[in-house]
Amino acid sequence: MTTSPPPPPPPPPRTPTRTKPVQLVVRKQGAYEHGRWSTRILTIDIDAGTASVSRKNDPAASSDRCLHVQHVQMWPRYNASGIESRYDSLKAKMTLRITGAETSFADAAAAAALLRESPSRSSASVTRQSTLYATTDTPSVDSSESLTPSDSCSRRSGRSFASSSPSTPAPSAVTKTWFINFTSMDSYELAVMLLLRLKNTDGSRRRVFVDNVVADLATVKAAWAAEVDGADTIVPKSVSRTPLITCTQSARLSV
């Protein structure tokens, strides 16, 4: 009687791979001068759940301040008074309102623990916070995982993932809000995808958006497409004001 060989040992546990942070070119508006915009680099770190800014001329040198992102609002969810442009303008529609606890990179782990342990906050309280402003340009990203808004906001579907509710910082933490205005649809949509994938320190998904991401993204994309289509049909004034001269008229003028 032959005996079957013993089963192979189980494979060793896989070490989770860290997603490389993504950097986007942004124009950051001053905290007190709403009309003053400065070019910066916005870095979104999915695994750390943070967003940070640095100077464009030295993107490798990160700022010593970053935000542990708690809430993100898309147009038209954020308050109209938070942006200096007309609220119905394309600039306002291409803007994200990002709120989080400000911390240094050295204190990132401690700040994440504070956020995880503190109580939940209602979305109504988010709209009453102070503001800080910025904008974004075209990025590039190499990500092995694709995610659509419907994957992360599928309240009408059966899919779900582990996530925690947005949490409020401890009283000692400073809460800041950035307004990020994107100058291309690609960078706007990519930023939304990255923010949808933010994680807590335990690896679970952090829910920073409300349940309107799919509809709001479609609205912004439609506004962008309408603006692009309109720009393609505009005839420059210098051309429209110049009279056309036919070959016959040109010959008569030369006689």
Read off the pLDDT of residues 29-45 as tens digits, 9 standing for 90 and up.
777 766 677 778 889 99
β-strand 205-206 against 163-164: which pairing, if any?
A: parallel
Least confident of 40-44, 63-67, 227-231: 63-67
Q: What is the mean pLDDT of residues 198-223?
A: 93
Asked if residues 49 and 200 have their Cβ atoms less than 8 Å apart, the reply is: yes
Report the C-alpha gap between 51 and 35 in whole angstroms.
22
Is pLDDT of 236 > 80?
Answer: no
Structure confidence by residue, pLDDT tens digits, 108-121: 554 444 444 443 33
DSSP 38-87: EEEEEEEETTTTEEEEEETT-TTS--S-EEEEEEEEETTTS-GGG-SS-T
pLDDT of res. 36:
72
Per-domain residue ranges of the chain = 22-237
For residues 179-203, average pLDDT: 91
Residues 177-202: what's their mean pLDDT?
A: 90
Closest CA to 140 of 16, 236, 24: 24
Q: What is the pLDDT of residues 111-163, one digit of tens each?
A: 444 444 443 333 333 333 323 333 333 333 443 344 455 444 433 333 333 33
Give 86's pLDDT tier (boundaries 50, 70, 90). Answer: confident
DSSP-based three-state secondary structure for 146: coil
Residue type, 194: L
pTM of the model: 0.63
Residue 177's pLDDT is 85
SS3 133: strand
Q: What is the DSSP letter of 202?
A: T
Average pLDDT over residues 17-28: 82
Measured between alpha carbons, how far is residue 180 from residues 137, 158, 177, 183, 249 in Å?
10, 32, 10, 10, 54
Return mean pLDDT, the chain: 69
